[in-house]
Amino acid sequence: MNELKERCRKFIDELNLPVTSFCMNVGLSPSFYYKWQRGERNMSNEKEKHISEYLMKYGF
């Protein structure tokens, strides 16, 4: 899971993408995204797979 968090951060940083836009594209609320990044929330395996596939489309 930590790898996915890092991939998300790298994607957002390198593309200079607003977190709100990233979240809209993967179906998360920005507040859930930030809580997940801080370790306050857990994401389902299905959602993690969806996000991972989204990032892979763009080479991340």
pLDDT tens digits, one per residue of 4-52: 999 999 999 999 999 999 999 999 999 999 999 999 999 999 999 999 9
In this prediction, residues 50-60 reach a mean pLDDT of 97
pLDDT band per the 50, 70, 90 thresholds, residue 1: low
Q: Which two tokens stand for residue 47?
A: 């959602």
pLDDT value of residue 50? 97
Q: Which overall architecture, per CATH, does domain 2-57 show? A: Orthogonal Bundle (1.10)
Residue 52 Rama label (left phi>0; alpha psi -120 to 50; beta): alpha
Task: Tell whether pTM > 0.85.
Answer: yes
Measured CA to CA, the distance from residue 5 to residue 42 in angstroms comes to 11
Measured CA to CA, the distance from residue 55 to residue 5 in angstroms comes to 11
